[in-house]
Structure formats: C-alpha cells, structure tokens
Structure 1
Amino acid sequence: MPSSSSISQDLYPSQDDLLYEEEILRNPFTLKLWCRYLIARSESPFKKRFVIYERALRALPGSYKLWHAYLRERLDLVRNLPLTHSQYETLNNTFERALVTTHKMPRIWIMYLQTLTHQKLLTRTRRTFDRALCALPVTQHDRIWEPYLVFVTQKGVPIETSLREAAERLASVLNDDMFLSIKGKTRHGLWLELCDLLTKHANQVKGLNVDPIIRGGIRKFTDQVGMLWISLAKYYIRRKLHEKARDVFEEGMSTVVTARDFGVIFDSYLKKMGKSDEEEEDNGEENGFGEEFERKMILHGFWLNEKNDIDLRFARFDYLMERRPELANSVLLRQNPHNVEQWQRRVKLFEGNPKRQILTYTEAVRTIDPMKSVGKPHTLWVAFAKLYEHHKDLANARVIFDKAVQVNYKTVDDLASVWCEWAEMELKHNNFKGALDLMRRATAEPSVEVKRRAAADGNEPVQMKLHKSLRLWTLYVDLEESRGTSNLESTRAVYERILDLRIATPQIIINYACFLEENKYFEDAFKVYERGVKIFKYPHVKDIWVTYLSKFVKRYGKTKLERARELFQNAIETAPADQLKPLYLRYAKMEEEYGLAMRAMKVYDEATKAVPNNEKLSMYEIYIARASDIFGKRSTRKIYELAIQSGLPDKDVKTMCLKFAELEKKTFGEIDRARAIYGYASQFANPRSDPEFWKKWHEFEVQHGNEDTFREMLRIKRSVSASYSQVSLLVLFLQTHFILPEYLMQKDQTVNLDEAKDKLKQAGVPEDEMAALERQLAPATNDAAPKERKVGFVSAGVESQTDGGLRVGANHEDIELPEESESDDEEKVEIAQKDVPSAVFGSLIRGREESDNESCLGALERIKRHKTK
C-alpha cells in the first residue's frame, strides 16, 4: 500500500504532463485541450483525473461535455458501494453543482433523478423531479415524466404521495393559461381527468382541498359542467359525507344552464340513490338504474346508510321525481330569464296551488325586462290579474292591472291590450261605469308638462302614445254606442275625436255614418262619408265610396239625381282604372232606374273606354246586353262596330267579330254583312294556331255560300297563312342576326314587311341584302307579286270596299286552281242544297262545260240536279 506522501505525489503533474500543462497554460479555455489531456491520462488514478476535471470545470463551468463525462465516472465509482456510503452524498453534491450551469440539459437531470431513485430518497427525489419540470421547457417534460412514473410506482413509495403529486401537477397545469397539451387534450378534458383522479382516490388525497379545486373548474366552464358537479358529489360520497353529496347534487341542478348538464346530474343523482356504500367502494364506475332499483333501496339503504329510514328515503325519491319538471324549467329560465313562454309554463306546473302561482307571477313580472323579453310580457300581467279574478278577489285584480298599465312595454298595442282586458273584466262584473271611466282615463292625452318631461329624459314611454291607440278608441266608442240614443252626443264626440287624431280607418268612417243614419241624421252621415273619401285614397277608400253611393241612391233616388251624378263622377275621377268597372255599373244602373236610358248608354260607352284592356270585352258585352234589352238588337250594331274598332286586343276583336257575325246571320239574316265580318276577323286568326275560327267560317260558307264565296274564303285563308309564315321567317332571320325589341319576338306577332325593312336599315344591313331577303320571303307566283292585302271592316250599310279590300260579288283577285288540288281544305266540300230561283244558276249552268278545270264542279252538279228535280 503506498504511503500518503506517494499518493500526494501522484496528484501533481509529472514530467509527461508538461506538454499538456504548457498548452493549457497558454489556452486554459479551450475544451479540446482539456479533452486531450483527460484522454491521455485515462489510465491514471481517479484522484488525479478528479483534479484535472475540477481544474477544467473551473475554467469551463458550463461545458455539458465535461460535466457529463465527470458525472459518469463518479457514477461508476459508486456503482458497487452500499447506499449508505459517503460517496453517494459527494455524488449528489456534484450533480447539484453541475445543475447550476446545465439546468437546461435534460440528460443531466435524468442521470441525477435515476441516482436519487436508486438511493430511495423519496422526498428529495420528488422535489428534484419537480425542479426538473420547472427548469426544463414543456417540450422536454415527456422525458422527465417517464422516470417520474417509475419512481412513484416503486414499492415503498406511499400512494398518497403519487396521487397528491399527480393532482398537484394537473392543478398547476390547469392554472397556467398558457399551457398547451402536446397530445391535443382540451382544458375541459384535463379538468375531467383531475376530477376523476380526486374522486376515485378521495381518501388518499387528504392533503388537497378538493372542493375549491373542482369548483374552480365549474366557474371556468359555463357549459358542460355536469360531470364536474358529479365528480364533486362522488368525492363526498366516498368520504362518507352523503348529506353533503346530496347538497352538491341539488346545487348542481339549481345552477347549470343547459338541459344536457341538468339531465346528466339528475340521472346520476337517481343512480346514486340506488347504490349502497359497499357498491360505491367496490365499483368505481356507475351502475345502471334498472329493474332492481327498489330491491336495492330496501336491502342496502341509501344516503343516510341506516336500516330504519326507508320511508324517509322513499319520500326523498318521490320528492325529487315530482320536482323534475320544475327543475328543468328553471334551467331554461336561467338561459333566458326574459322568456315569457317559459314563465307561463312554470305557472302551469303549480296548477291547483294558488300560492305558488302567485309567487311565480310575482317573480316573473319582477324579472322580465319588457325591452329584452321574448314574447308578450303583458300577457303575464293579464294572467296574474285574472288569477285573482278567478278567486273572486277583484280588489287585488284591479291593483295588478293598475301596476300593469304603468309598465313601459315595447309597443303601444301591448299597453292598450292591458287596458282593454281591464275594461272587459269590469264589464264582465257589470261595472259599466267603471269600464267607461277606464277608457276615458286611457284615451286622455298627456299634458304638455308630462310630454316635455318625457322628452327631456330621452326615453319616451309608450304611455305618451297611448291616446292614439285605435284599439282603445274602438272599444271606447263601442261602449258609448251601446248606451243607446240617450248618449248620442257623447258617442259623436268620441267619433269626432278619432277623426281629429287622424287614426280613423275606413271601417270607422262607415260605422260612424251608419250610427248617424240609425239616428236619422242622414245629411250628417253623408258629410262623414265626404270626409272619409277626402282622407283616404285607393284602395282603402273603395268601401267608403261603394257604401256612400249605394246609401245616397237608395235614400234620394230621382229626387237628387244631379247630386248623385256628381258623386259618381267624383268617384270615377279619383279611382284607378282597375277599380272603375263596378263604379260605372252602379252609375249606369242608377241612370236606368231613375234617370234616362240614353244617359245610361252614355255611361256604358264611357266605361268601355276607361276600363283596362283586360276588362273591355266584358264591359262591351254588358253594354250590348243592356242596349239590346232597352233599345232592341238593331241598336247593338253600332256598339259592335265601335268595339271592333276601339283597339281591343286581337283575340277580343276576333271574339267580338264572331258574335257580331252571329247576330247579323241569325237575327237579321244579313249574310253578306256576316261574310264581310268574317273576312275582317280573319286577319287576327292564324290558321295553324286558331283552327276553330276557320272551322266556323267553313261551316258558314257551306250553309250560306256559293262557289265564289267559298273560293274567296280559301284564298283568304292561304293569304293569311302565308303572311304569318313570312312574318315568322322574318322574325327568325332577325333574331338570328340582330337583337330585336322584345315585342317583335312574341309568338304570332304581326309585323309589317315595310316596318321590318326599316328595322334592317337601322341595323345597318345593306340594300342588296334587304332585297334578297324580301325576294326570299315573297310567295312564288307566275305573275307579278300581288300587293299586300288590307282587309277593311264593313260597317252598317256598306256592302263592299274597293280600295284593296274585300268585295263580295266582284272578285278581282280570283286565282285559278289546278284541276286536282291536293289541298285538304278543298276535299269533301259539300254545299247545302236549297230551293233557289233558277235565274241565280242560269249563267253557271251554261258555263259548266267551259269550266271543267275548276276544283268545285261536284258542288255545282249537285246544285243542278237539285234544280232539275
């Protein structure tokens, strides 16, 4: 064994160390030189290397590489030593020195923590773990938690320590608002983990104040707090504090603001009632609330954990079930205390308990702010008063109504409803005078001082506008009117006040006038009508005019005819076109009954010009019908002519022409006039889209025509069809090449060829293209193209028109038909045979042999055979 002098000699540098020592003296802060020195003396005793390490760390105290190598060698030094050896304490001190400068190095911490765990120094190890977690960033905590969990699960470590430590760590994390879980856990989820830890091990975490911790989480989360309340209740259940747990459940149900949280707490409350203490201790999870519930309650007992209190426990259970609707309603009211409907439902829950209903109404009207309310808050006041009325307490009902009318509601109508309900209550109990007094009080206009004070406050209550409530005035006037003729002046005063306030409706005007008529004030009633027609405009004034005119005509008849005519003229002048027809009909009816028939016809004539186009046809029909009844059917000819030429829509012109032709044919036997009317109407009937018109003309010619007239009908039909075809082609061409106005693109719209050419010119189409288009659209004929046909209307007394129009008897536009025509219109033509004088057919019979190429010879042969017979 070497002596102490020889050992001390080994600690000093030898001759071989001079080279390293000189370099270190020149550069003492170079890590590389110290590492080379230590490698060179790797075989030296540890004490010598200990001196070199200490010198190096004195020069470089923050070198992780030096500290790590130094600590590893010290760990190897104590590896086989007992835990009580002094070298362990020296090692621990070295770790503490190293952590002064390397506290951000997780590897140093892990080596130190593993060493302490091996030494079984529980308190020091736990505190060192805490120091490591505080010193290292969050991203490196997972490297610390792994050895931490190994430590707390070691045999001999008290469970209270690990649980308390885990709870404290979770609590500190939740108190840190900047904490973010690297595993994506929410703060609510972490709170649930903490509560689960505290409740499952309630008896092992006695050092922590669990109640404030869980309540802190409840305050942080306004919703989804049902599980936190359940956790707090479980904590007290496992601590055998059953009454405290019941209070927690009750507090939770009375504070949560969502139906989901309420349902969770309520269901858990019931389930806990069906469990004994042994079940709570043996089973950490909740058992179902099933068919065995009653047996469990009887066998095990609950809450008080006594065997002789079953009646009390059943009573509590029944009480809880009875209170469920009330508790659920309270949750909804906590969500919005201004919800009128929920307050009304709460009142219904206490049906049969007037005291609770009164308390609920009182709480409701105190809580609800009318400006924030959902629903009509005045209905609560009315229902509150009616509750007292139902129990024969009219005095308190009047007190409630008196308070209700002082509330500042959202709208005037709400306040007026309260006044009306109050008055109706008084009427129900035969207090007619009291109801009238209420209406006078409600409709009284506030004084100027009150208005000025309300305007100064900047928040004008609805009471300032109540005197203009039509609902109140309507009830007021009904009450006054129901008192009979003895209060005529007071009723008139109410009506006049309504008119002065400019809140009257047309129905009020009519009611006022009818009231005056019932009391024989006819002229005053008509004055009211006059005021009404000046106040209102159409469409609101329509009913006033109708009532006014009918009442005036009914009363005066022919005695004041000029005045009635003036009224009708005023009504017509102010009415829009779509409202004129009923006025004109009333006007004409009055003239028929009390005036002159000619004036009635004049009124009908004015009406046909004034009504809108969609009503002209029906107006002409009425005009014609009345003229026929009064002056005979012959007088309707002129009306038909006016109707056809008045600018009716094409389809209405065609309808009117058909009726005119039917009149001429059946009534007067004027076949030529009827044929001329058919010819005029043909220009409005496209053979493709309106075959019905041509069918009627065909039948007409078969019954009353001859070969020439039938040919003329066919020619006109082809001409009309060709004109529509040309227009269709022209419109198609223009739609393809140009953007036309919308009215030119409508179906079956008649377009003049000259107008179309003008459109082409405006669009910039050259003249040669226009000529080519015209040639393309013109019908192909052997002769020159005929001029455009213009069918004129044959008026009364005119037989034909020569200026390019239709002429019966001399047809200059007759065309030659082929011998075998393929036209469907010429097939199977049968002319009705009649007894006609032979002079009519003389020339035709002589010319039969000369006209073998005509297409209608069959009809002529039948006519000849009929004549011969």
Structure 2
Amino acid sequence: MWVRYLEARRDAPARRRYILYERALKALPVSYKLWHAYLRERQLAVRGLAVEDPAVSSLNNTYERALVSMHKMPRIWIEYLEFVLDQGWITRTRRTFDRALQSLPITQHHRIWQLYLKFLMRPGTPSETAVRVYKRYLRLEPTHAEEYIAYLKAQGLWGEAARKMAELVNDDTFRSLEGKSKHQLWLELCDIITKHPKDVLGLKVDAVLRSGIRKFTDEVGRLWTSLADYYIRQGMYESARDVYEEGLTTVTTVRDFSLIFDTLTQFEETLLQHKMEQGGDEEEPEPAMNGAEDDDGADFLLKDDTNDIDLRLARLEHLMERRPELLSSVMLRQNPHNTHEWHKRVKLFAGNPHKQILTYTEAVTTVDVNKAIGKLHTLWTGFARFYERHGDLENARVIFDKATQVEFKYVDDLATVWCEWAEMELRHKNFKRALDLMRRATYTPDIVNRRAAAEAEREGPVQGRLYRSLKLWAFYCDLEESLGTLESTRAVYDRILDLRIATPQIILNYALFLQEHKYWEESFRVYERGVALFKYPHVRDIWLAYLQQFVQRYAGSKLERARDLFKQALAQAPPEESKALFLQYAALEESHGLARSAMEVYDKAVKTVPQADRLAVYDLYLARAHEFFGLGKVREIYETAIEASPPYGVSDDDCKRMCLRYSQLERKLGEVDRARAILVHASSLADPRRDLLFWKEWNDFEVKHGNEDTFREMLRIKRSVAASFSQIHYNTTIVEAATTAAPGEEGGKRKRGEDEMAALEAEVTGTRLPGFVSGGTVQPDQRTQEGTPADAPAAPGASAPVVENPEDIDLDEGDAEEEEADAGADIQLETKPVPEAVYGAGGEQLGALDRFKKRRTDGQ
C-alpha cells in the first residue's frame, strides 16, 4: 500500500515524497524495498553537488539510519560505499569499509573487497593504510599475494615486497595465479634485492640467495652475479670479489661460468677504469660503477682512495690467465671421472712441473674405475712418463708399480701398464729388467681345480686373469726373440699354446721363428697344433702357410705325405675356401706328381668350388689338359662342363661363354657340324633380347660356314627361343648396356684379363694340333705334295691350310662373271629389296635371309 501511495504521488515535490518515505519507513522500518527506493531517490537528487553541501551530509545520515536495520543487506552497503568513495574522505571511507566487513557474513566479503582494493589504489591513499588493509585481505585470499607485491612495487615499498616475495618462495603450497614458477619468483626476488639493497635491510640477503643457488641449479650463474651485485651496491667490493671467486669455483656448467667470468671481468675493468680516471687524487670522489646505478638513480661511489692501479691491473691480468684453468675445473666438476679432461688439464700446466704432479695425483685418486670415461691406465702411464721425461726413473718405477696394483676394469688395461713399464726399461737399455718384468707379469699360478679357478678369476680382480692376456704374451715373445735364447723363446711360445690363448698369427710367428733357425719339423708340428686348435675361416692362413712351406721344403721327396696334408686340408675346408687349396694341390701334382693326378684334382675342384669361381678353375683345367693330353681331353672337359647338372655345373652365363669357346675351337679345327651343334645346344640359354653377342657370333658363323638351310634353321631356333623368353621382363637399362657393348666386342679384340684357354684357342689353326683327327676335308698343302706327313708340325711362317665346307653351295659366281664379260653386255639392272611388309609375320626372318644371300653373292 505504501508503494502504491508513493507511485500515486510521483509528481509531488521531493520534500513531500521524502515525508511519505519517512512515514512509510517509520511504519515498516525493516522493509528493504522501501529503504532501497528511498536511498536511490535521495542519491539521484544530490548528484553533482559539492561534498560540503548539507544535502550530501543529510544523505549520509539517511544511509546510517538505514544501516541500523539493513546492516545485513550487501546492496545497501555497496551503494553507501560507492557514495562515500566519491566524497573522497579517506578516514571515513576506511572506517565505513571496516564496518561493512564487520556487519556482513564472510561469504559476502568478496563483494566489499573489490571496492576496498579500488579505494586503496586511488591516489592519495596512505601507503601505510594500504599495506595494513592488504595484509587483512591476504588473510581472506592468500593466493592474491602477487597483487599485493605488484602494489608494493608500484609504491616503491621494496623492503616489504622482498619480504613478501621471500615468503612466497619458501611456501611450498603457494600456486601463482599468473602462472609463474618458483624459479621466476626467485629471479624477481633477486632483482629486488640487488637493485634496492638499502630497502631490504631486514632481510638476510646472503642466506636467501644462497638457498636459491642450492635449489635452482639451472640459474646458478645469475644468482651468483645477483649476490655479488648486492655487495657491490653496498660498497663492499672485496666481498663481491669473494662471491665471484666462489661462484667460479662452484658452478658446473660452461654457460654459468661464462656469465660469472664476464661479469667479474667487467667489474675489475670498471674499478680499474675509475681508478685511472681518478688519477690517484684522494680528494676527488670516484664515479659510479657500470651497473652500480639502480632504477632510482642512486650512486654507489668507490671509497678506496689509495693509488693501487698497478695492483688492480695485475689482478685483472691474473684473472685472464686463470681462465683456461678455471674452465677446466668446471668441466671436471661436471664429470670428475673424465680422463680426457684430466689430460687436458695437465697440458695447461706445461712448464710448471709442480702443478702437473699435483694434477696427476688428484686425477689418479679421483677417477673411479667403474665410472671412468676413457682409459684410466693412460693417466698412470702419463704420470710415469712425466717422471721419465725429467730423468727420475725411480719415481717412474714407483708409479708403474702402484699402477699394477689398481683393480682396472679390463685385463687389457693392466697388460698395457706392464708393457709400458717394460718399454720404458727398454728405452733406457735395461734389457734384463724388462725381461724380469715380463716374467713377473706372465706368472702362471698352479691350478688344481680348473673350474673353481675359472670362477674365482671371473669374480676376482684383473690381476688374477693377467696371465691369460694375449697382448702381454705377444710382447713377451717379441722380447724373447730379440733378447732371449732359442730355448727361452720356444718355452714362451709353448706356454701360450698350453694356455690355449694363441691366435693364428701367433702360430704363424712361432713356425716362422723355428724355420729361421732351420727347425723345419718342429715348425711343421707347430702348424699341426695350429690346425688342431682352430677352425675355418681362422685356420685358412695356417693351412696355406703350412702347405706352402712343406712343398718348398721337400718338393717331391715326400709326395705321399704332401698329398695326405692336402687331402686333410680339403676335407676341413668349406667349398668357398677350397679354391686356393685345390690350385696349390694341382700345382704340386703338375710339378712333382702325375699329370693324371693333377687332372683328378682339377676335376674334383670344378665340382667343389662355388659356382662363381668354377669358370676360372675350368680355364686352368682346360689349359693343363691341352698341355698334357691334347684336344681329346679338352673336348671331354668341355662336354662335361656343359652337360653337368646344376649342383656341379657352371652358371648359365658361364655355360654360354664356354659353348662359344668350344664352338670357336671346333671351327678352327674344321669341325663345322660340331661347332654348329654346340651353338644349337647353347641357344636355349641365350635370350635374343639380351644376349646379342651370342646371336651375332652364330650369325657370323652361318654367314661364313653355313648355307641357306642352316641359316633358316638358325632363324627358326632364334624365334623359338625368343618365344620361350617372351614372358620374362628385363630391366631396359641392362639391355641397352648389352646393346652398346656388342659392337665393341665385334672387332675380335680380346678383353683385358682373357683366360689362358681363350688365348690358346685363338692360336689354334687348321689340323696341326697334336692328338686330333679331323672329321672334315683338308686341302693338301705343299708339304703333302712333297711327301711330308700331313700331321707333321708346320715350319715357322708357313701358311695355314684352307678348310673347305663339304656342304657349301656352289653358286657358279665365277662363270656368270666370265659370261657377262665375254658377251660385253653393258646393260645394268637395278635391283631393289622386297619390302618386309610383303612377307607378313615372317618378314624379319626373310629379310635376314635376303641379306644373307646378298653377302654370299658379294663374296663376303
């Protein structure tokens, strides 16, 4: 009813409406609706009036009266606070905010704090008041501490900002609303401390920064420089220099080292520059250092009035000279077990023996064998060589003796130490001492239970396994061969064989040593022990050397024993390793045995060696067969090779090559039919698209020795073979390469490296080959007419007999030319070839036949 009454008197003067509101509120003092409407209407009326206006004061009193009954209504409080904020009364505003926070429940406080913080940010608000209010706010919202720090920075309250930042850094439960990490907070704290050292007097700066250095290892260099910068701004230059030195000797990364070193260098250069500009004048104050001026423009002047320019210059030079040493220390702090860095550090102190000795001593005592990067024994040997270079052999021996007691990770490392010790003695002509050292190093303990001893050796130190080091024994053998006697050297070699640690090279060396002293049978026994110790492929060199030395020593005097050795070697050798043994065996039979036995060796070789090496063996087989038994044996070998089954035969390509050679041999002997039959046999392996050389050879053969029927038969076979290979796909690059290679082979030039048999066949002419009876007709030469036997050897320079083909067609070419000359016919007929398209599918073959006839007509 009161609301309807007020709406009805909407047009009434303000004073009358205020009276109606007062009457209504007197009747209903707890009506939020009436109070809110009344206060809004009064607030609109005073808008734009001065603060001292009585209407403003009256409205303040009205708000106070309303809050007596409306103190739990946050909307009333917010409107009142906004009204008070506009008036600019600081104390009244602060107290009003406090009353609002006291009256409202805590769940409504966040609405009040928004205005409260806005009030604190206004110009003119005392910083002390703001700090106290912010501290109260952080009790309610501790996660908003970064807002408080930002306010402190804006107001220049660096001490309070540093203390609050230190609390946040030490609080493990704090999570930044701005997404900052603890590391970033640390860096901000360092910036505040170093740039404003006089404002953070209540904070233990040294302890704070050192705790950060221990905690945040990825920014150690910046924290050290921040701590030094703090002392510089305080004017404590010696303390700053101590901090720099401590940082240089503790950082573990090159980046941090470079940062600290560059900062320290700049610090020393700045001090020296200011001192030189001062010129030793005690009354003139020193200018501010580079980097010693903070954001507020405060100057920290040097207070040292003494003229010590030379001292500062020497200090700077000493710092620059120490840089390689300090950097080496950084690398060793990263990994103190890196032997390469220790060697580099020793080289840094070249010319300073005392520091080199200290470095070596520190290195051998610091590096752990199990963690070492590189070879630990190189430090010990380098240490001993250092004393040796300075002529102190006694101390070098002491170092070597200590090194032999170190439990290295590998036996080879300990063996290297012993060898280096012995080499040092050899360099100084102490030969007896070197031999004694090797005897000490190779001392073999008495072993009763071999299995238990082997387990103890594996679990024990390397000193217990040293006697099995082949490196040590090899060095011992060299010393005994050079300095010892024959018996002592043989004892060392025999001991190596007894320990079963010998290598094929040791066997070869031992045998060669005995051969040099004319102990042939003993050397052969060593070979026998070697072949019993090893298997292929390691025993290959031993067998080759054994057989070669045996053959050279006894030649054919112990042929049966040599044969037994070859048979034993071939029985152990795999097929891929047997070629050299077969050839050596065949050479033995050729030189000292029977030719028949040599042929048997070759026959077995071509069936045993891998297919890739079979053609080369066949070449030798054929050459030796022709030399010893004539062409009959050669034909037998050719036929055997061509007709052999896949496990024992040659590859298809090699078979084609052998067929061509066999055919050329028969053609030179006048056996045209046999040559043609061989080509027919090989044609099934020759694809016309690829094997252009084979078909060209056959084509030339038919042109020279064939007739029309044989040429047609060749074309028919070619078509048949092409049809059988029509389903096979080849790489066009290979076909083109074969096509371009064919003309180069047409001229009859033998390729480089042509086998002996091909050269032999090229020299064979006519029927003057021993042991061969031709199946064709040979035209008698002058020797036959004079009574010389047909099979007698020809005289040097005599022409070869002409071989005629019994199936050759007589075309009466000479008669036709004579008749034409006699008739004096001057009519010239022009002949044109028939187009190949006329013949249809067989045009290509018929065209080839026409060309064949034309070449025969022209006398080709």
TM over 0.5: yes
Give yes or no for contact 2:325–2:348 (8 Å, CA) kept in 1.
yes
Deviations 1:747-804 (A, max 9, x none): 9xxxxxxxxxxxxxxxxxxxxxxxxxxxxxxxxxxxxxxxxxxxxxxxx99989xxxx
For residue 134 of structure 1, what is the aligned residue in structure 2? Answer: 139
Distance (Å, rounded) in 2 between the aligned partners of 1:477 and 1:52? 116
Residue 587 to residue 94, structure 1, CA distance change in 2 (3 Å): same
Q: Give the match for residue 516 of structure 1.
A: 514
Match of 1:482, SS? helix
Contact 1:673–1:799 at 8 Å: present in 2 too? no
Q: How far off its partner does 1:221 sit?
A: 1.4
Letter of the aligned partner of 2:368 in structure 1? Answer: D
C-alpha distance in 2 between matches for 1:518 and 1:693: 55
CA contact (8 A) 2:511 2:526 kept: yes
Q: Specify the alignment match of 1:765 in structure 2.
A: none
- Whole-Å Cα distance in 2 between the matches of residues 561 and 500 of structure 1? 31
CA contact (8 A) 1:365 1:381 kept: yes
CA distance change for structure 1 residues 35 and 456 in 2, over 3 Å: closer, same or farther?
farther
1:268 positional shift: 1.5
CA distance in 2, matches of 1:36, 1:191: 53
Q: Deviations over 1:611-639 (max 9, x none)?
A: 11111111111011112223334432222
CA distance in 1, matches of 2:565, 2:437: 41
Report which stretch shifted further, 497-506 or 518-527.
518-527
> Paired residue for 2:369?
370
Alpha-carbon contact 2:477-2:493 (below 8 Å) kept:
yes
The counterpart of 2:230, out of the listed 235, 250, 264, is: 235
Sequence identity percentage: 46
Q: CA deviation at 1:452?
A: 7.8
1-side partners of 2:117 and 2:223: how far apart? 39
Q: Structure 2 vs 1, CA of residues 81 and 216 (structure 1 numbering), >3 Å: closer, same or farther? A: closer
Letter in structure 1 aligned against 2:650: L
Q: Give the CA deviation at 1:655.
A: 1.3
Change in 2 beyond 3 A, CA 1:684/1:303: farther
Aligned partner letter, 2:341: Q
Matching residue of 1:7: none
Aligned counterpart, 1:473 = 473
- What does the per-residue CA deviation read over 1:495-535, in whole Å, with 9 as the maximum and x for residues that have no partner? 22212222110011111222223333322221211111121
Q: Deviations over 1:702-723 (max 9, x none)?
A: 3333x3xx43133223323333
Write out aligned runs for 1:378-777 (5 A). 378-445=377-444, 460-484=460-484, 487-646=485-644, 647-666=649-668, 668-705=669-706, 707=707, 710-729=708-727
The Cα shift of 1:569 comes to 0.5
- Separation in 2, partners of 1:81, 1:613: 112
C-alpha separation between the residues in 2 aligned to 1:149 and 1:587? 100
* In 2, Cα distance between equivalents of 1:285 and 1:38: 56
The alpha-carbon distance between structure 1 residues 148 and 106, as it changes in their structure 2 partners (threshold 3 A), is farther
Structure 1 residue 493, shift from structure 2 partner: 2.3
**What code does the residue aligned with 2:248 have?**
M
1:203 aligns with 198
1:35 is aligned, of 9, 32, 36, to: 32
Q: Compute the TM-score of the two structures, normalised by the length of structure 1.
A: 0.72
For 1:719, give the aligned amino acid. I
Q: Given that residues 657 and 681 in structure 1 are in contact (C-alpha distance below 8 angstroms), is that contact kept between their aligned partners in structure 2?
A: yes
Q: Mark the CA change 1:301 to 1:634 in structure 2 (over 3 Å): closer, same or farther.
A: farther
- Change in CA separation of 1:596 and 1:81 when aligned onto 2, cut-off 3 Å: closer
The residue number in structure 2 matching 1:218 is: 213
When structure 1 is superposed on structure 2, of 185-194 and 471-480 the one drifting more is 185-194
Equivalent residue, structure 1, for 2:50 = none
Shift of 1:260: 1.2
> Which aligned pairs between 1:103-122 and structure 2 lie closer than 5 A?
104-105=109-110, 107-108=112-113, 110-111=115-116, 114=119
The whole-number CA distance in structure 2 between the counterparts of 1:658 and 1:80 is 120
Whether the 8 Å contact between 1:273 and 1:303 is mirrored in structure 2 is no
Which residue of 2 is the match for residue 337 of structure 1?
336
Aligned length: 706
2: CA distance, partners of 1:856 / 1:145: 109
CA RMSD in angstroms comes to 4.2
Q: CA deviation at 1:140?
A: 8.6
Aligned to 2:55: none
> Using the alignment, how far apart are the partners of 1:254 and 1:103 within structure 2?
57
Letter paired with 1:128: V
Per-residue displacement from partner, 1:131-179 (whole Å, max 9, x unpaired)? Answer: 212321525964x6676667x3xxxxxx5xx110111222222222343
Of residues 253-262 and 644-653 in structure 1, the stretch that sits farther from structure 2 once superposed is 644-653
CA–CA distance in 2 between the matches of 1:704 and 1:116?
120
Deviation at 1:552, TM superposition (A): 1.2
Q: Is the 8 A contact 1:443 1:466 kept in 2?
A: yes
CA–CA separation in structure 2 for the residues paired with 1:827 and 1:385: 91
Structure 1 residues 274 and 634, CA gap change in structure 2 (3 angstroms) = same
CA distance in 1, matches of 2:528, 2:374: 42
Q: Answer whether contact 1:41 1:49 (CA < 8 A) is retained.
A: no
| Pair 1:260 & 2:246 matched | no
What is the rounded CA distance, in whole Å, between the counterparts of 1:543 and 1:178 in structure 2? 75
What is the distance in 2 between the residues matched to 1:862 and 1:129? 123
CA distance in 1, matches of 2:398, 2:268: 47
Identify if the C-alpha distance between structure 1 residues 449 and 712 changes in structure 2 by more than 3 Å, giving closer, same or farther: closer
1:306-317 correspondence to structure 2 within 5 Å: 306=305, 308-317=307-316
| Residue of 92, 95, 99 corresponding to 1:94 | 99
Shift of residue 220, structure 1, vs aligned partner: 1.6
In the alignment, the residues of structure 2 paired with residue 400 and residue 190 of structure 1 have an alpha-carbon distance, to the nearest angstrom, of 53
* Structure-2 change in CA distance of 1:119 and 1:687 (3 Å): closer
Which residue does the alignment assign to 2:288? Answer: 279
Alpha-carbon distance in 2 for matches of 1:328, 1:427: 39
User: What pairs with 1:237-252 in structure 2 (closer than 5 Å)?
Assistant: 237-252=232-247
Question: Structure 1 residues 526 and 447, CA, compared in 2 at 3 Å: closer, same or farther?
Answer: closer
Distance 2:701 2:725 in 1: 29
More displaced, 547-556 or 647-656?
647-656
2:161 to 160, 163, 166: 166
One-letter amino acid matched to 1:460? G
Kindly state the Cα deviation for residue 693 of structure 1 after the two structures are TM-superposed.
Answer: 2.0
2:441 partner letter: A
Structure 1 counterpart of 2:562, one-letter code: A
Q: For the residues of structure 2 that align with 1:117 and 1:410, how far apart are their CA atoms?
A: 74
**What is the rounded CA distance, in whole Å, between the counterparts of 1:860 and 1:105 in structure 2?**
120
Q: 1:319, CA displacement in angstroms? A: 0.3
Per mean C-alpha deviation after superposition, the further-off stretch among 187-196 and 392-401 is 187-196
CA, structure 1 residues 282+423, in 2 after alignment: closer, same or farther (shift >3 Å)? closer
Distance 1:116 1:652 in 2: 101
Most deviating of 165-174 and 33-42: 33-42
Q: Supply the distance in 2 between the matched residues of 1:468 and 1:560 (Cα, whole angstroms).
A: 39
Deviation at 1:671, TM superposition (A): 2.8
CA change 1:41–1:594 in 2 (3 A) is closer
Find the residue that maps to 1:280 and give its secondary structure.
coil
1:270 aligns with: 265
How many angstroms apart in 2 are the aligned matches of 1:593 and 1:576? 26
Within 1, Cα distance between the matches of 2:465 and 2:307?
Answer: 68
Q: Partners of 2:836 and 2:220 in 1: how far apart?
A: 101
Code of the residue aligned with 2:657 in structure 1: it is T
CA contact (8 A) 2:339 2:376 kept: yes
Return the alpha-carbon distance in structure 2 between the equivalents of residues 561 and 193 of structure 1: 97
Alpha carbons of 1:54 and 1:462: their partners in 2 closer, same or farther (altered >3 Å)? Answer: farther
- Structure 1, unpaired ranges of 5+: 1-13, 22-32, 153-158, 287-299, 733-741, 748-795, 801-806, 812-816, 830-853
> Contact 1:820 / 1:855 at 8 angstroms: preserved in 2?
no
Do 2:165 and 2:185's aligned partners in 1 also have CA atoms closer than 8 Å? yes
Q: Which amino acid aligns with 1:381?
A: W
Q: Indicate yes or no: 2:181 matched with 1:176.
A: no
CA distance in 2, matches of 1:264, 1:818: 90
